[in-house]
Structure 1
Amino acid sequence: MKLDDLIALDMHTHAEEPCCGHRDDGYDEFQAGMAKYFKNPAGAKGMLPTVEETAAYYRERRIGCVIFPVDAERETGFRRYKNEEVAEIAAKNSDIMIPFASIDPAKGKMGAREARRLVREFGVKGFKFHPTMQGFFPNDRSAYVLYEAIQDEGAVALFHTGQTGVGAGMHGGMGMRLKYSHPMYIDDVAVDFPDMKIVLAHPSFPWQEEALSVATHKPNVYIDLSGWSPKYFPPILVQYTNSLLKKKMLFGSDWPAITPDRWLADFEKLEIKDDVRPLVLKDNAARLLNLS
């Protein structure tokens, strides 16, 4: 990956399709709900991009991207996209893609063993957690054996925080419990794993100030700005981006739910200082991922 050739680094893209052949029961309804929430017609029509198509899209725009699946088999019943397969495709597109993986913390020592293998053998740079989809509190001690492996291997831990489009508007919210994604639970993780780089994903509605507090207090905690169009960012988030957290804020889209085209167009209209824009769009992520 040649950083000088890229205009930005997207810290948050999803590997959605394909997954192990035919779709599991309920998967179409889940994606239709997501498409409605994010106003994304591709999801509603079953036209979600493959990882290869994602690479082509980002290459055309000269934007690097971190890509990952989500291992939520236990809670959703949807089979996960194999971490190895995503990493192998990313390796073939290493000019534009950086592979992250996802492991349900409930897998305990087996999950920790998988994490070490993925870093050492497949070049995985980080791990995505979605506490609401995976049904766990981030500071649950049962997850610590996995965090230990991630910290030991020098990888990044990226946690979904705040409300989610998963299950939004669906019967019973598709069983998704928002409480798991409160950013303050990750404050405990930052204390207990001070050498593990942590990213709080998304503006953490309705706990934005708590997320900003954790990121300002803990040196190893960053925030990615994915999942929301910048035109909806609360004023305090813009304020901290321009000041105390200017070296810790990261561009993220939440592809394919939100495209970088949409995100970047709205970010351009935001009152962000000229010297801060390149930090958010590329420089902070490059430093976090040890690319620069």
Structure 2
Amino acid sequence: MNVIDFRFRPNTPEVINGIANSVMFKDLCEAIDFHKQKPEPFGQIIEGLEQNNVVKAVITGRDCETTYASMANGNGAVLDFCTKAPEKFVGFWGVDPHKGMDAVRDLEKAVTENETINGAAIDPYLAKIYPNDAKYYPIYSKCCELGIPMIFTTGTASFVPGAVIDHVAPRYIDFVARDFPELKIVISHGGYPWVNEAIIVAQRNKNVFMEISEYELWPMADAYVEAANTIIGDKLLFASAHPFIDYREQLDKYAKLAFEESVYAKVMYENAAGILGV
């Protein structure tokens, strides 16, 4: 079965070192023993994806320069990876809402000048504002104009200094989905711990999709699978969060989750293919 991974970063030495030493994620990396993750040469990473039938992988950029004086796994790295392997990687450009129209123009330039950049990504908990804050709205409008989807990073933001978990509650994404019905939205990390809230936001908005990377086996996570088998079968996407969790481990994990056969095929490939136009 072909697979599309909707949250992936190549585990090159530069990426591994950058994540482990970043201001935002250093404490988290220590807590999960991230240092055990082994870096691989770029060519070996591509070979591994091929061997595991991962035909496309989305690499999300991150721009939190205003609030954390850091780009983390920044847009330059995303563009570099996607340029090296355009047949394999799809780039989503990280956007800092505090940069105003400069951010909007930067996003437009990235998408119009690079065929491998086909989406945008935001991290409200790193921006320290809600996703329905007015600072984001020019960015959403530009995404609609460009016809590109947007990834909203949610989740618990564990150990990130200064992060407020309420900034990524799915209820605020619901406002955005209603204000911008043309904008395809992907909730990354399942809106955890607001599991049922995230499910309903995806179910009631035609333009909202979701991936649950890192939280597949956490408390209450069985509701994601139940919902996929009943009310959001066309909305759930496979995502590994590699290299925080190795994508090969995630592939094995998803094969064991209680998805119905037809739903499993949608989760692993078909739903993502529709969003990306593959």
| TM-score of the superposed pair, with normalisation by structure 1 | 0.84
TM-aligned CA deviation for residue 49 of structure 1? 5.8
Q: Which amino acid aligns with 1:33?
A: D
Matching of residue 87 in structure 1 with residue 79 in structure 2: yes
Among 124, 132, 135, the alignment partner of 1:139 is 132
Which whole-Å deviations, capped at 9, do the CAs of 1:256-287 have from their partners, x for residues lacking one?
10111111212222111011111000111001
Q: Are 2:123 and 1:130 equivalent residues in the alignment?
A: yes
Matched, 1:11 2:26: no
Task: Quickly say closer, same or farther: Cα 1:37–1:220, change in 2 above 3 A.
Answer: farther
2:23–2:68 Cα contact (<8 Å) kept: no
State the superposition RMSD in angstroms: 2.6
For 2:167 and 2:110, the matched residues in 1 are separated by: 26
Aligned-partner residue type, residue 14 of structure 2? P
Gaps of 5+ in 1: 1-5
Q: Runs of 5+ in structure 2 lacking a partner?
A: none
In structure 1, what residue type is equivalent to 2:193? P
Q: What does residue 3 of structure 1 align with?
A: none
Alignment CA distance shift 1:247-1:221 (3 Å): same
Whole-angstrom distance in 1 between the partners of 2:43 and 2:97: 28
1:97 aligns with 2:94: no
Aligned residue number for residue 116 of structure 1: 108
For the residues of structure 1 that align with 2:68 and 2:10, how far apart are their CA atoms? Answer: 17
- SS of 1:175's equivalent in the other structure is coil
Matched residues in 1 for 2:252 and 2:125: separation? 29
Give per-residue Cα distances to partners, 1:201-252, cap 9 Å, x unaligned. Answer: 1132221111111111110000012122447662321111111100110000
State the match for 2:175 in structure 1. Answer: 188
Question: In structure 1, how many angstroms separate the alpha carbons of the residues matched to 2:148 and 2:220?
Answer: 28
Shift of 1:50: 7.3
1: CA distance between counterparts of 2:39 and 2:243? 7
**Contact kept? 1:13, 1:65, Cα under 8 Å:** yes
Residues 227 and 253 in structure 1, CA contact (< 8 A), matched pair in contact too = yes
Amino acid at match of 2:8: T
1:247 corresponds to which of 231, 234, 237 = 234
The equivalent residue for 1:74 is 66
Q: What do residues 18-76 of structure 1 show as CA deviations (whole Å, max 9, x unaligned)?
A: 37xx969x935754433344443346xxx656766644442342312101221112222
Change (3 A) 1:28 1:188: closer
- Aligned CA distance change for structure 1 residues 37 and 199 (closer, same or farther; 3 Å): farther
Question: Deviations for 1:132-159, whole angstroms, at most 9, x for unmatched residues?
Answer: 1221210001111111111110111100
3-state SS of paired residue (2:241): coil
Question: How many equivalent residue pairs?
Answer: 274
Bigger mean CA offset, 58-67 vs 245-254: 58-67
Out of 268, 274, 278, the position equivalent to 2:265 is 278
Q: SS of the residue aligned with 1:9? A: strand
Shift, 1:130, TM fit: 1.2
User: 2:50 aligned with 1:59, yes or no?
Assistant: yes
Amino acid at match of 1:106: H
Aligned-partner Cα distance in 2 for 1:111–1:29: 22
Q: Does the aligned pair in 2 maintain the 1:15–1:81 contact within 8 Å?
A: no
Distance change >3 Å, CA 104–CA 12, structure 1 → 2 = same
Counterpart in 2 of 1:154? Answer: 147
Most deviating of 54-63 and 96-105: 54-63
Q: Which amino acid aligns with 2:222?
A: P
Kindly provide the CA deviation profile for residues 112-169 of structure 1, in whole angstroms up to 9, marking residues without a partner as x: 111111111012111111111221210001111111111110111100123124xx2x
* Number of the residue aligned with 2:213: 226
For 2:234 and 2:174, locate their aligned partners in 1 and report how far apart those are by CA, in whole Å: 19
In the superposition, the TM-score normalised over structure 2's length comes to 0.88
